[in-house]
Amino acid sequence: MTEQQAREQMVKLGASFFQRGYATGSAGNLSMMLEDGHLLATPTGSCLGELDPDTLSKVTLDGEWLSGDKPSKEISFHRAIYLNKPECKAVVHLHSLYLTALSCLQGLDSKNCIKPFTPYVVMRVGDVPVVPYYRPGDARLGEDLARLAPHFNAFLLANHGPVVVGKSLREAADNTEELEETARLIFTLGDRPIRYLSDDEVAELRS
Ligand SMILES: O=C(O)[C@@H](O)C(=O)COP(=O)(O)O
Ligand SMILES: [Zn+2]
C-alpha cells in the first residue's frame, strides 16, 4: 500500500467509526505503520469523522514529528506497542460506548476483562488485560502497554477505553468493532446467568 493509499484508508475508517457512533467529538486516535517504517497517526484534537489525508501526522518510531499536524497525545503509547510487537502494523484507540462503560466497572479481572461466551472474540482477539487508570497522555500508559504488547492484541484502559492492534488498520478496526459488540452483549445480558465457554471450548478455538 502506498503512503497516499494509507492516508486515504485512515480517513475512510475514521469516518466510518464516526458515522456509526463508535467515535464521537474528538475522542480516540488511530495509527498505522507505513512501508517506510514511519508511523501515520491522527493529529491531536482531531475528529475521526473529519480527518484530512494531507494533515495526518507522520512520526518516526522514535517519536520524531516529521510532518503534518501535531500528533495525538497518545502517540507514545502507540509507539510503545509497535516497538514491542513487531507484527503490529496498526493501533486503534476509541472511547466507544460499551467498552468504555466496561472500563469503568469495579472488580474487572485485570488479566482478562472479557470472559469468553462467544467464539468470534476468542478467535480474533483473545484475552483483554486491563491497564490501570492514568491521565490521558501519561507516559505510564506506554510503559504498561510496552510490557503487555507482546502477549495480547487488545487492552482496556481503566476508566478510559479500548486499545486494539492489528496487522493492518482494517484488521485493528474490525477487531475493535468485535470487542465493542461483545461489551454491548455483556450489558445487554445484564444479570442474566451466562453460559460461558468452557476451557476446552476456548482451547479448541485457539488451536
Ligand atoms: O482520552 C484522551 O484524551 C485521548 O486518549 C484521546 O482519545 C484523544 O486524544 P488526541 O488523540 O490527542 O486527540
Ligand atoms: Zn482516549
CATH code of the domain containing 32: 3.40.225.10
Q: Are 56 and 43 in contact (CB under 8 A)?
A: yes
Atom of ligand 1 nearest to the CA of 46: 13
CB distance 26 to ligand 1 below 6 Å = yes
Terminal C-alpha separation, the chain: 31
How many domains does the chain contain in total?
A: 1
Q: What is the per-residue DSSP string for 16-81?
A: HHHHTTSS-TT--EEEEE-TTS-EEEPBTT--GGG--TTT-EEE-TT--EEESSPB-TTHHHHHHH
Does pTM top 0.90 for this prediction? yes
Ligand 2 centroid distance, CA of 137 (Å): 8
| pLDDT by residue, tens only, the chain of 207 residues | 999 999 999 999 999 999 999 999 999 999 999 999 999 999 999 999 999 999 999 999 999 999 999 999 999 999 999 999 999 999 999 999 999 999 999 999 999 999 999 999 999 999 999 999 999 999 999 999 999 999 999 999 999 999 999 999 999 999 999 999 999 999 999 999 999 999 999 999 998
The 10 Å Cβ neighbour count of residue 75 is: 24
Q: Which has the closest alpha carbon to 156: 135, 185, 176, 181?
A: 176
Is the beta carbon of 45 within 6 A of some atom in ligand 1? yes
Q: Which is nearest to 95 in space by CA: 175, 166, 156, 32? A: 156
Q: What is the ipTM of this complex?
A: 0.99
Q: Identify residue 136 by its one-letter amino acid code.
A: P
Question: Could you tell me the distance, in angstroms and rounded to a whole number, from the CA of residue 192 to the centre of ligand 1?
Answer: 35
Active-site residue, selected from the candidate residues 35, 120, 196, 204: 120
Bridging pattern class, strands 65-67 and 57-59: antiparallel
CB of 28 shorter than 6 A to ligand 1: yes
CB 42 within 8 A of CB 11: no
* Structural domain of 164: 3-206
